[in-house]
């Protein structure tokens, strides 16, 4: 029997380039991230989330007239119809909120079926429908878990202010609104991360956009990806006081456990988005008058970097920032979905427009061929 040559295995597809994309560019060597050519730091400093969503979908920043039309459409599409409200009400409030978001996107797909999964205008309409409606779902789910009735979308308010009002009953201070909006811009897009790649795999089979987004939500939920923003906050709550942070970290590292909010598959010298989100965390901490989480942040970062050289990723500052803004921890990753829906759907449209079925190979390492016993 001739021994087969063992093929090279790219475990986790690490380092493998599988396709081109014009949506965003991550350059770890220069710590740079651009959306359609614009540095994410500049977008976070001077754009609204609606402008960035438009950029990701259409490839250019909108003119005033284009933005007005775009936001008008978004504001008109925020409401959940009665049957979708009923589906939401029937999901158990004991499940993770990401399960609710996943289920609701899947349900919205049943209301909006399309045989042709490649028509660009239809794909764009579906993307913008999910973008407009997700905040209503996330806010309503968070409130019902608090025993509160949902708050209807407010058509006079922009995306961020409307979402925050649907969560908390009033427009918060501009410091909070701006910090939240920055987080949305930073979370919007990041090339072929696991959830985006999942969406592209589903799209590559000719399946529909809701199916692709449902798969992406499932991938984002995991704690090695989007779920890390929640895990970071649970860890900080467990640590509780800054003086306990270094001991806690030592125990984790000695146990060979992964420390949530640190490390990245692509960035090995720090995440390009962290400085902007860190500044937003400082702004929120100062506004709320609570610096405990910031102190724990510093202790963990110092100890982790000096012991391992591994730096924080975006989920590290976002976790405590969302906590200080008043969100329940279970809503953190659903909020990430509200943002990443823009990047996911931009990639789905790109995949659909230039498709090849995504189907890698595997190297078999199970038993040799054998006969079924008689």
Ligand X SMILES: CC(=O)SCCNC(=O)CCNC(=O)[C@H](O)C(C)(C)COP(=O)(O)OP(=O)(O)OC[C@H]1O[C@@H](n2cnc3c(N)ncnc32)[C@H](O)[C@@H]1OP(=O)(O)O
The pairs formed by 165-171 with CB atoms below 8 angstroms and a separation of 24 or more are 166/135, 166/136, 166/139, 166/140, 167/139, 167/142, 167/143, 167/326, 167/327, 167/331, 168/326
Q: Is 302 a catalytic residue?
A: no
Answer for which of 96, 144, 265, 295 binds ligand OAA (CB under 6 A) is: 265
259 makes contact, choosing from ligand OAA, ligand X, none, with CB < 5 to 8 Å by partner type, with ligand X
CB closer to ligand X, 64 vs 238: 238
The Cα–Cα gap between 354 and 164 comes to 37
What minimum distance in Å lies between the beta carbon of 108 and ligand OAA? 23
Instruction: Decide: is 190 part of the binding site for ligand OAA (CB under 6 A).
Output: yes
The Cα–Cα gap between 299 and 249 comes to 9
Q: Which residues contact 42 (CB under 8 A, 6 or more apart)?
A: none
Instruction: Decide: is 266 part of the binding site for ligand OAA (CB under 6 A).
Output: yes
DSSP-derived letter for residue 362 is -
Q: Is 264 a catalytic residue?
A: yes
The Cα–Cα gap between 54 and 77 comes to 16
Answer for which of 171, 288, 310, 358 binds ligand X (CB under 6 A) is: 310
Question: Contact 45/61 with Cβ under 8 angstroms?
Answer: no
CB closer to ligand OAA, 125 vs 194: 194
CB closer to ligand OAA, 4 vs 29: 29
Instruction: Decide: is 335 part of the binding site for ligand X (CB under 6 A).
Output: no
Instruction: Decide: is 329 part of the binding site for ligand OAA (CB under 6 A).
Output: no
Instruction: Decide: is 334 part of the binding site for ligand X (CB under 6 A).
Output: no
Instruction: Please list every residue from 218 through 277 that binds ligand X, using CB under 6 A.
Output: 224-226, 228, 258-265
Binding mask 217-256 for ligand OAA (x = CB under 6 A): ----------------------------------------
The Cα–Cα gap between 179 and 282 comes to 10
The Cα–Cα gap between 57 and 346 comes to 5
The Cα–Cα gap between 249 and 310 comes to 13
Active-site residue identified among 208, 271, 315, 328: 315
Active-site residue identified among 190, 225, 264, 347: 264
Instruction: Decide: is 122 part of the binding site for ligand X (CB under 6 A).
Output: no
Other C-beta atoms closer than 10 Å to the C-beta of 144 total 16
DSSP-derived letter for residue 10 is -
The closest residue (CB) to ligand X is 263
Site residues, ligand X (CB under 6 A): 12, 224-226, 228, 258-265, 310, 313-315
Site residues, ligand OAA (CB under 6 A): 190, 193, 264-266, 313-314
**Mind telling me the catalytic residues?**
264, 315
């Amino acid at each position: 029997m001739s021994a087969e040559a063992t093929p090279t295995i790219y475990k986790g597809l690490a380092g493998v380039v599988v396709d081109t994309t014009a949506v965003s560019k991550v350059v770890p060597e220069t710590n740079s991230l651009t959306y359609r050519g614009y540095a994410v730091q500049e977008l976070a400093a001077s754009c609204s989330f609606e402008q960035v969503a438009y950029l990701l979908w259409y490839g250019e920043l909108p003119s005033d007239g284009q933005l007005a039309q775009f936001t008008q459409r978004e504001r008109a599409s925020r409401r959940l119809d009665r049957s979708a409200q009923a589906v939401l009400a029937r999901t158990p409030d004991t499940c993770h909120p990401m399960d609710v978001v996943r289920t609701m996107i899947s349900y919205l797909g049943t209301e909006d079926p399309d045989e042709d999964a490649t028509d660009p205008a239809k794909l764009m309409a579906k993307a913008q429908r999910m973008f407009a409606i997700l905040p209503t779902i996330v806010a309503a789910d968070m409130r019902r878990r608090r025993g509160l009735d949902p708050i209807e979308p407010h058509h006079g308010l922009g995306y961020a202010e409307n979402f925050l009002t649907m969560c908390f009953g009033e427009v918060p201070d501009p410091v909070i609104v701006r910090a939240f909006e920055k987080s949305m811009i930073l979370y919007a897009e990041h090339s072929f991360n696991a959830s985006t790649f999942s969406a592209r795999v589903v799209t590559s089979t000719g399946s529909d956009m809701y199916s692709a987004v449902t798969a992406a939500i499932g991938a984002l939920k995991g704690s090695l990806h989007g779920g890390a923003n929640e895990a970071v906050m649970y860890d900080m709550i467990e640590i509780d006081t800054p003086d306990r942070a270094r001991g806690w970290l030592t125990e984790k590292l000695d146990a060979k456990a992964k420390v949530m909010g640190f490390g990245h598959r692509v960035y090995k010298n720090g995440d390009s988005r962290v400085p902007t989100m860190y500044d937003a965390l400082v702004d929120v901490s100062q506004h709320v008058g609570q610096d405990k989480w910031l102190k724990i942040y510093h202790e963990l970062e110092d100890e982790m970097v000096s012991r391992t050289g591994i730096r924080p990723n975006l989920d590290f500052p976002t976790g405590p920032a969302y906590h200080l803004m008043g969100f329940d921890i279970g809503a953190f990753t659903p909020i990430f979905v509200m943002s990443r829906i823009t990047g996911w759907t931009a990639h789905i449209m790109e995949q659909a427009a230039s498709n090849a079925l995504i189907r890698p190979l595997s190297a078999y390492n199970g038993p040799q061929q054998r006969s079924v016993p008689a």
